[in-house]
Amino acid sequence: MRTRLRSIPVFANVRPTEFRETGLPDNPLPVIAEWILAADAAGQPEPHAMSLCTVGASGVPSSRVLIVKDIDDDRLYFATPADSRKGREIAANANVSAHFYWPAVGRQVRIVGTAAGLDRAASESDFADRGRASRLAAHLHRQGPLADRPSALAEFDRLGTAHPDDVPCPPSWTLYAISPTEVEFWEASADRVHHRVAYRRDTGAGSGAWRHELMWP
Ligand SMILES: Cc1cc2nc3c(=O)[nH]c(=O)nc-3n(C[C@H](O)[C@H](O)[C@H](O)COP(=O)(O)O)c2cc1C
């Protein structure tokens, strides 16, 4: 296995880019959005998928992939049931980290921050924008094991019949917002002297302003 793994190329498709080391914007959030769109333009599948790491009350971390639904100047948004593992972990400990990797452009973004669920109106609005199958599938969410796959398929069919038009938003469906306090941009360079810029937000009683600095690769 070791030989096989070590023979797989890394950054084979990295092309020279115009990484901005100077003149970077004060706020990193719009740059995350810009990088998602650049990865999309380069053909990266699901460039808006990020891994989200949460930490439960016992301090054990867990991560999974989620779709980012929106980004504004302060927050990134995702949606999930509040009674899922991640939802319960965020309720116990709001600290999260998130991560994007886009092999098509040789870039990653690391995020540290806190997550919080938004109100019912925001969550229902998110739910209303989902496709019908996704809205029905949200009702399949349960805590605990599933006896077999046909049971889930039968329940999916039953839900479709029960809700021929509107699909109600499950009470636990929640739109969450991540408020980052750290954002780090990384871009591969063919010469292996990679680019790295770290942003950190002033979280004290100050202005909440962002500062950034160039980091060793
Ligand atoms: C590409 C991709 C996108 C996903 N998007 C979501 C999502 O937006 N919301 C969600 O609840 N789960 C999503 N999932 C499933 C989660 O990764 C995870 O399996 C599920 O939410 C249960 O996580 P938990 O048990 O840690 O709460 C996605 C999975 C993949 C691979």
Nearest CA, atom 3, ligand 1: 66
Q: Which residues of 203-215 are buried (b: 16+ CB within 10 A; e: fewer)?
A: eeeeeeebebeee
Q: What is the distance in A from the centroid of ligand 1 to the CA of 66?
A: 5
Give the per-residue pLDDT at 195: 92
Strand, coil or helix: 152:
helix
Q: How far apart are CA 179 and CA 172, in angstroms?
A: 21
Global confidence as pTM = 0.94
Q: What is the mean pLDDT of each run of 10 residues along the chain (217 residues)?
A: 95 77 89 96 97 94 98 98 97 97 95 98 96 95 89 93 94 98 94 92 84 93
Give the per-residue pLDDT at 91: 97
Give the per-residue pLDDT at 199: 97
Give the per-residue pLDDT at 100: 98
Q: What is the distance in A from the centroid of ligand 1 to the CA of 65?
A: 5
Give the per-residue pLDDT at 12: 81
Q: How far apart are CA 80 and CA 89, in angstroms?
A: 12
Ligand 1 contacts (CB < 6 A) are 46, 49, 62, 64-67, 78-80, 84-86
Q: What is the distance in A from the centroid of ligand 1 to the CA of 84?
A: 10
Q: Which of 62, 78, 80, 134 to mutate to test the pocket of ligand 1 (most atoms within 8 A of CB)?
A: 80
Q: What is the distance in A from the centroid of ligand 1 to the CA of 161?
A: 25
The predicted-structure confidence for 178-208, as pLDDT tens digits, reads as follows 999 999 999 999 888 899 999 999 887 777 8
| Annotation: CATH topology of 23-131+171-214 | Pnp Oxidase; Chain A (2.30.110)
Give the per-residue pLDDT at 107: 95
38-46 LR contacts (CB < 8 Å, sep 24+): 38/105, 38/107, 39/102, 39/104, 39/105, 39/107, 42/102, 42/104, 42/105, 43/104, 44/102, 44/103, 44/104, 44/105
